[in-house]
């Protein structure tokens, strides 16, 4: 059993019959009174965030989780199928567990987090940036880079991303999967 001294960012703990990842924490020692640890935690099951304060030295239950790389295969009605490239084992992930499903394309490598004791998938994270080709957008204006005006563009997965005016159809762009925003053009 661990204590609050073991809390760090990214640690997965069991709290109130749910699994939470520590997003940020702060150890506070006021001049008067006992020390405590202020945390912001994100639920792996529901995705909601929770602010909680633990007294210093309190016992916490650390959950064992494993990150494994899987390759995206295809979509089904209400989820996605992935394959482990080493064991060729396939796993079905519900759509709610994928952080940016609109940017999934066949053959892409993703990190799936599993609860080590029960072997149940908890979340699926795409790489921070993906490179995609623009399949449709209005024609760009050459030399228009001074303003930060954006236009909608459709990428190969069907998702819509707002890009600068100088980006044209057929070009490849880098997209931030955490925010869904255009990052840069790729040659």
96 SS3 class: helix
Question: CA neighbours within 13 Å on the CB side: how many for 42?
Answer: 10
Residue (of 9, 6, 5, 4) closest to 40 by Cα position: 9
How confident is the model at residue 106, as a pLDDT? 92
In a structure prediction context, what are the per-residue pLDDT tens digits for the chain, which is 187 residues long? 789 999 999 899 999 988 999 999 999 999 888 999 999 999 887 778 999 999 999 999 999 989 999 999 999 888 999 999 899 999 999 988 888 899 999 999 999 999 888 888 988 999 999 999 999 998 866 666 667 788 999 999 999 999 988 888 999 999 999 899 999 999 8
What is the spatial distance between Cα 92 and Cα 76, in angstroms, rounded to a whole number? Answer: 9
Q: What per-residue confidence (pLDDT) applies to 68? A: 92
Q: Give the pTM.
A: 0.77
- What residue ranges define each of the domains in the chain, with the CATH number in brackets? 2-62 (2.30.30.30), 65-125 (2.40.50.140), 129-186 (2.40.50.140)
Distance (Å, whole) CA 177 – CA 160: 12
pLDDT at res. 143? 63
Residue for token digits 């060729």? 88
User: Nearest-5° angle of CA 73, CA 94, CA 96?
Assistant: 120
Looking at residue 123, its pLDDT comes to 87
């Amino acid at each position: 059993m661990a204590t609050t001294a073991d809390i760090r960012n990214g640690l997965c703990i069991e709290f109130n019959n749910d699994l939470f990842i520590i997003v940020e924490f702060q150890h506070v020692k006021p001049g008067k009174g006992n020390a405590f640890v202020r945390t912001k935690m994100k639920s792996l099951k529901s995705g909601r965030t929770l602010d909680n304060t633990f007294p210093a030295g309190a016992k916490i239950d650390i959950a064992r989780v494993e990150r494994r790389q899987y390759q995206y295969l295809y979509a089904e009605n209400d989820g996605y199928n992935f394959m482990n490239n080493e064991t060729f084992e396939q796993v079905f992930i519900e759509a709610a567990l994928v952080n940016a499903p609109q940017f999934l394309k066949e053959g892409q490598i993703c990190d799936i987090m599993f609860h080590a004791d029960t072997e149940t998938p908890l979340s699926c994270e795409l790489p921070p940036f993906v490179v995609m080709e623009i399949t449709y957008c209005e024609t760009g204006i050459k030399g228009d880079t001074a303003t930060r005006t954006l236009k909608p563009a459709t990428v190969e997965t069907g998702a819509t991303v707002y890009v600068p005016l100088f980006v044209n159809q057929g070009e490849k762009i880098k997209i931030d999967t955490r925010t869904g925003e255009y990052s840069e053009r790729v040659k």
